């Protein structure tokens, strides 16, 4: 029998059926100094890289400020072409935008999830967590809140069940769900962030069909919009009977 060790150790147990890549949990982070070194090294790597194609899509851009004075980074999920943009390139693009455009001070994220399709527009929660973990601690601390606009049922369930375990550094508590645009204006003045037309249209759909928030389409064939013929048929029968009585 060997002598026992007093060194601390930890064990991470991951369920295999969750469909989550375990590597981000098992990776070892050496501290804030290394984060800063990686940040500067990365900034040199993407300084000459061309991101004009992603800039053209306007999926991630700096806008105004919320009512608390936090600068706004707007993210439109529908604009992200997930099948053709790798997670590594997405990371370099986000780092480049933050490094070159974000001024000093606190900031927030307005993320628009409207009409996002998992296969077409989502890079995956594992990649998003990996990108966040690679950010310097100073940038993480400056992020105050994430306004999550039009969260679907699947997004709510994922964050409700895995959020506290999967999102580190207090990120879970920074997410604020915004089911309707009218509630966004409680925290951000109109005109401070541009709302795409399709997001406004989706908001109107949710306003008239609130069950759609929970993945339920109460009238998929829009039958309620078709005028009923029962009443008109009944009136016709009444007029016919009256005509026979008078004749």
Confidence at residue 43, expressed as pLDDT on a 0 to 100 scale: 52
Q: How far apart are CA 75 and CA 91, in angstroms?
A: 14
Give the tens place of pLDDT for each residue, 85-126: 999 999 999 999 999 999 999 999 999 999 999 889 988 888
Residue 233: the pLDDT is 47
| Any domain includes 80 | yes
Instruction: Tell me what pLDDT residue 215 has.
Output: 59
pLDDT of residue 164: 67
Instruction: Tell me the DSSP string of 115-147.
Output: T--HHHH---HHHHHHHHHHS-HHHHHHEEEEE
Domain assignment present for 93 = yes
Burial class (CB within 10 angstroms; exposed 0-12, middle 13-18, buried 19+) of 150: buried
**How far, in Å, are 135, 182, 231, 239, 243 from residue 235 at the CA level?**
71, 44, 6, 6, 12
Residue-wise pLDDT for 174-192, tens only, equals 999 999 999 999 999 999 9
Residues 129-138: pLDDT tens digits?
889 889 999 9
> pLDDT tens digits, residue range 14-43?
443 444 444 444 444 444 445 555 555 555
Domain that holds residue 163: 51-210
Q: Is residue 232 part of a domain?
A: no
Question: What CATH number has the domain bearing residue 136?
Answer: 3.40.525.10
Residue 2 domain flag: no
Distance CA(151)–CA(117), nearest Å, equals 12
**What's the pLDDT at 21?**
47
pLDDT top residue among 47 and 203: 203
Residue 29 lies in a domain: no
Q: List residues bridging with 110 in a β-sheet.
A: 74, 147
Q: Is residue 35 part of a domain?
A: no
Number of domains in the chain: 1
Encoded tokens for 220: 């998929």
Any domain includes 117: yes
Q: Is residue 185 part of a domain?
A: yes
């Amino acid at each position: 029998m060997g002598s026992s060790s007093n060194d601390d150790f930890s064990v991470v147990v991951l369920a295999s059926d969750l469909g989550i890549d375990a590597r981000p949990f098992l990776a070892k982070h050496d501290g804030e100094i290394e984060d800063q070194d990686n940040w500067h090294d990365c900034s040199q790597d993407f300084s000459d890289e061309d991101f004009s194609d992603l800039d053209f899509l306007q999926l991630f851009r700096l806008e105004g400020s919320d009512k608390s004075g936090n600068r706004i980074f707007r993210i439109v999920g529908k604009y992200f072409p997930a099948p053709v943009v790798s997670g590594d390139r997405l990371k370099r693009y986000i780092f480049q935008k933050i490094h070159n455009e974000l001024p000093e001070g606190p900031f927030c994220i307005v993320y628009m999830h409207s009409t996002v399709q998992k296969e077409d527009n989502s890079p995956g929660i594992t990649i998003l967590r990996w990108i966040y973990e690679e950010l310097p601690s100073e940038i993480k601390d400056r992020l105050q809140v994430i306004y999550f606009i039009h969260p679907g049922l699947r997004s709510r369930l994922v964050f409700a069940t895995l959020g506290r375990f999967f999102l580190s550094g207090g990120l879970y508590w920074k997410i604020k769900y915004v089911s309707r645009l009218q509630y966004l204006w409680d925290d951000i003045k109109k005109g401070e962030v541009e709302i795409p037309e399709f997001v406004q249209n989706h908001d109107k759909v949710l306003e008239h069909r609130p069950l759609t928030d929970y993945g339920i389409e109460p009238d998929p064939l829009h039958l309620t919009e078709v005028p009923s013929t029962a009443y008109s048929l009944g009136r016709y029968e009444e007029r016919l009977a009256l005509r026979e009585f008078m004749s």
